[in-house]
Amino acid sequence: MKHRIAGIALAGLAFCLVFGLLAEAEDNNIYVVQPFNAAAIDETNQVSIAYELSQFKPEGFFSFQIAVTGTGVVQTAKYELSNSGSDFVTPTGASDIVSNIASNSGPNSDGVTFVSFDPEIARFLRIRIAVTNGLATVSGWLAIQ
């Protein structure tokens, strides 16, 4: 009888653990943060704050919408990753999120572009934007699921 009760208790514990882990992983929410809000960038690099990805429980889906005005051109927007939170790197072989975005770029020629990207697994992610050819005002929205 003791073994049967212990077996039932163990099965119940295993069920609770598995169900709890599955419930936590099935977030399916889409989180949107704005790393750049009308940021004036003048032929330099600007880096967003670092986002700790565990707070979003990502499924691995990322997209970035960027809006550019002014004479400057966003030469590149790229992601940088870190597991420590202090040393950020662009992974070897990583593609830029976007490149060469001007105020007349995008499908509507209005400086707005929307892309998805696929970063490697990491604890922290931030976005780095490099501008050339003058001053660009940049807004960017990062969606994470």
Residues 131 and 10: their CA atoms lie apart, in Å, by: 59
| pLDDT mean over 79-102 | 97
pLDDT at 107: 97
Percent of the chain clearing pLDDT 90 (strictly above): 77
The answer to whether residue 133 is domain-embedded is yes
* Residue span of the structural domain in which 115 resides: 29-144
The answer to whether residue 57 is domain-embedded is yes
> Is the model more confident about 14 or about 93?
93
For the whole model, what pTM was predicted? 0.79
CATH number of residue 41's parent domain: 2.60.120
Q: How many domains does the chain have?
A: 1
pLDDT at 1: 52
Residue with tokens 């919408």: 65
**Tens of pLDDT along 109-142?**
999 999 999 999 999 999 999 999 999 999 999 9
Task: Label residue 54 exposed, middle or buried (CB < 10 Å: 0-12, 13-18, 19+).
Answer: exposed
The answer to whether residue 118 is domain-embedded is yes
CB 126 within 8 A of CB 50: yes
The answer to whether residue 41 is domain-embedded is yes
- Give 2's pLDDT tier (boundaries 50, 70, 90): low
| pLDDT mean over 93-113 | 97
Mean of the per-residue pLDDT values of the chain: 87
The answer to whether residue 24 is domain-embedded is no
